[in-house]
Structure 1
Amino acid sequence: MAHLKTGSLERNIALTKLGFGAGTKIVAHSIANLFRGEISRTQSDRDFYKRQAEILRDELGQLKGSVMKAGQMLSLYGQYFLPEEAVTVLSQLQDDTPAVHWKVVGPVLERALGRARLAELDVDEHPLAAASLGQAHRARRKRDGLELVVKIQYPGVADAIESDIKTLSRLIAMTRMAPKGLDLNPIFAELREMLHREVDYAAERNFTETFARKLADDPRFVVPRVLTEYSSDQVLTTTYEHGYHVKDAKVQALSLERRSALGKAFVDVFVSELFRWNMVQTDPHFGNYRIRPEEDGNDRIVLLDFGATRVFGRGFVDNYASIVRGGVQRDREQIIKGGCGIGLMSADFPRNVLEAFCDMCEMITEPFAGDDPGRVPAHLLNERGEYKWYESDLPMRAGQLAAKNAFSKYFRVPPREIVFLHRRLSGVFIMLATLRAELNARPLLMDVL
């Protein structure tokens, strides 16, 4: 069980010590670099940033709460401006963290529900799962045996968001991991807004119920039912929905046809979320999904945790659709039109910069190219012309091209909508690769476009 540093004084002391230590190490590192050659200095910088990020990761992991969650999100933004070593380390701040003792979260549950209502439940004090902002416990309603999951927010995390964000921004400045002159205020403003959303259990309850309504007639999906009588601003209770992790042997042993059908469902729900509903669950963590194999072969996907759901404006979605449509159809004017509409590009950029952007968009949409001749490496298509997601090195190729373009003076840190949308898109790709799915996703995409 982890110790939760909930008091503002305790958290500030821990972060101040971290910042002071970082400042001292920076001075020592800068002095040492004066006596190093250019090549060894570069390696020294890489090692230094890695050590700094490891210290930051370890301390944030102990603190839990909003500052740890912000560290996770920073790794997403950081891929656009932080040293690669720092991004790699910060991305290890995952939500499968040590749980907090029941004596800390139990009182939160009792205050939220009241003793009489809580007495209706048998709650397992050993957590089912633990994350940075709260943890989940199995429960059973005594009168009918209904199996439940009770998600409890850690005490003090909502109140600590403002101070945690300020402290984290100072730490990033002190560790000198961000480029000099880069304005990080918009990024930390987005992190602040995101954290306030994730501790808003009323909003999460509404999103859960909305997804349940939209998918009620689709037998491929299961969304837990919210029990409002056992929920509050710090507690969210839903039905327990059984299923297996996607990497479980029972899922991996399914036939190619069934695994590909599951992959098709994952793509289908994602494109529906973005292009039809303009509302995307942006956290692709595998813990947010369960696979329920069925005897009749019509397997189901259990969708969990809608706290990271984002609503996208119609203008953004239309422009993004233009980029995607242009990428799939190799219509570069469509790509540029959408890129300018979102703010990724400007029409007065040099033509070679615009062409490089189009190259990237056409590469990223490769799995949706269908039978477009020459678009997809031959070894990534099966005999039916379906894309073999698990064999694709597309993320590596796209990452290399993005890194090359990032050195351009015309490069811009993407709008916040792009960062979180691509987080989910990457999750879809990884999910299909893990399922070892083979399918042509073009009809699914073009249907919504």
Structure 2
Amino acid sequence: MHSGKNPKGGRVPIDKLHDRNAARVCNMIKTNGGIFLKIGQAIAVQGAALPEAYQREFKNMFDDASQESWSDVQAVIEEEFGASVSEVFGDGVEKEPRASASIAQVHYARLKDGREVAIKVQRRNLAQQASWDLWTFKVLCDLVGRTTDIHIQGIGDYIMENIMKETDFENEAANSMRIAELVKSDPDLNKRVYIPQVYTELTSKRVLTSEWIHGAKLWDRDIITGAHNPSGETPEGMGLKEADIMTTVIDLFSSQMFKWGFVHCDPHPGNMFVRRLPSGKPQIVLIDHGLYVSLSDNLRRQYARFWKSLLTGDQKGLEEVSTAWGMKTADAWADTFMSREKKSEPLDETPEEKSQRAISEASAFFGEEGLYPRELIFLERNLALVQGSNRFYDSPVNRLGMIGRSAMLNLRDDREVTFAQAMSSRWAMFVLDAVFYFSRWKQYMGWGKGFEDELKEAEERMAQEMKDSMSGLWEVDKEAE
């Protein structure tokens, strides 16, 4: 009624309509809970798929979900440990949760020995609800795969298998300890990143106990960047720089993708805390380690080469990687990662042809069944969440350039590089830096919002093209009726 070639007109202004519907959808997601909340979190950081009203409404999806009753919390602990809450944790457990999310809620406690801990208690009926939600998603993927040329039939199974791992807190504890060891072994990150200690003796399938973290959440911008006043006479900020914070965040996840091949796939702002070190620099504390993907050494190198080829314009490298992934061309992934506008559509294209082109482009994105690395689905989610945080801080760092340099650094031993190739890579990164700093200058002069917002505008134009395609298809269907 509000868009397309022949809008019929609505009874309310479009902005008011978006605000109202965003609130309705947010309410529905919170009421349903479970896996629906993960969809809400994705919406909160997306750049262009839905109007900005949805981002504003959904920002509290990260740790402000509906709460389980204290009786349900007690029941889960008793079922897991065969003892009451006070017998397991003592009398220092707060009944009101400090945070509540899609999988579980967190209660603060002080143990008898004085340790401050976070007790993460899974929602009592989560496993059953999550399995039904994911089964529905799997059926929809299979249906789309059978009725179109988009090869996603097996993707639902893969996503279901990995997200269900989040309901096993012993698996989360193992992930947490593994990433902690990787961070400690990295001299560049071991001071800038911290992984809270897990107390395995107080952890089970549905209850996880870890060290309590005092700090600000990643999007608590006023606290993080506010003036630092150790005297305590006024509310104390951390006095930290946005660029330092986002540099650490991007360095951490670049190392996971290109160096370790062990990737945290839910880095939303509720899962990262910020602390101020005595040096005056930030430390990122990463929590919630239920969802990881492991990359084979071959896939890790392919992914690094994909990024290097993408940023340096190495078409041959892009085609080699895309062929290995079962794709006819690398254009679909390149457009997505770089938010590049697609080639203009033919002027005489019919709505049916436009719709078929959209399906063909989606099919190119997923590639040939059996060759497409399904891990890429979660890697793309990781990148989207990190991009959302960089945009939140008004693009203080060149995210694409940092990711590209990390990819190149971890490919140094991959093959011999000629002097010409090395110089070409340096020149490409120099140009990308120049584009970024020009965007920063425009932002400083008040002529732009930042590099990530410019990418967002490109995403919006791409999204609008898809909406127009769907609108045209709708008009054809109406005419057929």
TM bracket (short chain): 0.5 to 0.7
CA contact (8 A) 1:327 1:358 kept: no
1:322 maps to 305
CA contact (8 A) 1:117 1:230 kept: no
Amino acid at match of 2:385: G
Cα separation, 1, equivalents of 2:164 and 2:147: 28
1:26 maps to none
The Cα offsets for residues 139-188 of structure 1, whole Å up to 9 and x where unpaired, read as 11122x11100000111211333333344567x69xx9999646764343
1:200 maps to 168
CA contact (8 A) 1:73 1:191 kept: no
1:220 maps to 192
Q: Of 74, 94, 107, which residue of structure 2 is paired with 1:106?
A: 74
Cα separation, 1, equivalents of 2:65 and 2:280: 35
Cα separation, 1, equivalents of 2:34 and 2:200: 25
Q: Of 324, 335, 339, which residue of structure 2 is paired with 1:360?
A: 335
Shift of 1:264: 2.0
CA contact (8 A) 2:240 2:276 kept: no
In the alignment, structure 1 residue 142 sits paired with structure 2 residue 117 = no
- Segments of structure 1 that go 5 or more residues without pairing to the other structure are 1-28, 30-36, 365-397
1:242 maps to 214
1:132 maps to 102
CA contact (8 A) 1:319 1:337 kept: no
2:362 maps to 411
The Cα offsets for residues 323-361 of structure 1, whole Å up to 9 and x where unpaired, read as 111122221101111122223x22xx6xxxx5x458637
* Count of equivalent residues: 361
- Secondary structure at 1:148's aligned position in 2? strand
Residue 319 to residue 249, structure 1, CA distance change in 2 (3 Å): same
The Cα offsets for residues 267-299 of structure 1, whole Å up to 9 and x where unpaired, read as 211111011211111112101111101232232
CA contact (8 A) 1:224 1:240 kept: yes
In the alignment, structure 1 residue 336 sits paired with structure 2 residue 294 = no
The Cα offsets for residues 80-125 of structure 1, whole Å up to 9 and x where unpaired, read as 9xx868x969x94934312222122222123323237425351111
Aligned counterparts, 1:34-433, within 5 A: 39-40=6-7, 58-66=27-35, 68-69=36-37, 71-72=39-40, 92=58, 94-95=61-62, 96-113=64-81, 114-115=83-84, 117-120=87-90, 122-143=92-113, 145-167=114-136, 181=148, 185-217=153-185, 218-246=190-218, 247-253=220-226, 258-343=241-326, 345-346=327-328, 356-357=331-332, 360=335, 364=338, 398=339, 400-401=341-342, 407=358, 409-412=360-363, 413-414=365-366, 416-433=374-391
191-200 or 252-261, which deviates more: 252-261
Amino acid at match of 2:66: P
2:476 maps to none
- Secondary structure at 2:162's aligned position in 1? helix
Amino acid at match of 2:197: R
Amino acid at match of 1:65: G
Cα separation, 2, equivalents of 1:228 and 1:222: 18
- Secondary structure at 1:260's aligned position in 2? helix
Identity of aligned residues (%): 21
Amino acid at match of 2:69: H
CA contact (8 A) 1:316 1:342 kept: no
- Secondary structure at 2:158's aligned position in 1? helix
Shift of 1:400: 4.9
Amino acid at match of 1:360: D
Alignment RMSD, CA only? Answer: 4.3
Amino acid at match of 1:283: D
Shift of 1:64: 1.7
CA contact (8 A) 1:148 1:240 kept: yes
Residue 403 to residue 122, structure 1, CA distance change in 2 (3 Å): farther
Cα separation, 2, equivalents of 1:407 and 1:105: 47
CA contact (8 A) 1:275 1:448 kept: yes
Cα separation, 1, equivalents of 2:182 and 2:40: 30
Shift of 1:239: 0.3
Cα separation, 2, equivalents of 1:110 and 1:161: 22
- Secondary structure at 2:92's aligned position in 1? strand
Cα separation, 2, equivalents of 1:177 and 1:42: 32
CA contact (8 A) 2:163 2:291 kept: no
Cα separation, 2, equivalents of 1:411 and 1:64: 29
In the alignment, structure 1 residue 447 sits paired with structure 2 residue 409 = yes
Amino acid at match of 1:245: K
- Secondary structure at 1:65's aligned position in 2? coil
Cα separation, 2, equivalents of 1:92 and 1:223: 27
Residue 194 to residue 402, structure 1, CA distance change in 2 (3 Å): farther
CA contact (8 A) 1:319 1:339 kept: no
2:351 maps to none
Residue 193 to residue 296, structure 1, CA distance change in 2 (3 Å): same
The TM-score with structure 2 as length reference comes to 0.63
Shift of 1:402: 9.9
2:349 maps to none
Shift of 1:54: 8.1
- Segments of structure 2 that go 5 or more residues without pairing to the other structure are 228-237, 346-353, 367-371, 412-481
Cα separation, 2, equivalents of 1:104 and 1:402: 55
The TM-score with structure 1 as length reference comes to 0.67
Cα separation, 1, equivalents of 2:157 and 2:344: 25
1:25 maps to none
Amino acid at match of 2:221: D
Shift of 1:417: 2.1
Shift of 1:205: 0.4
Cα separation, 1, equivalents of 2:248 and 2:89: 40
- Secondary structure at 2:79's aligned position in 1? helix
CA contact (8 A) 1:323 1:334 kept: yes
- Secondary structure at 2:319's aligned position in 1? helix
Residue 271 to residue 403, structure 1, CA distance change in 2 (3 Å): farther
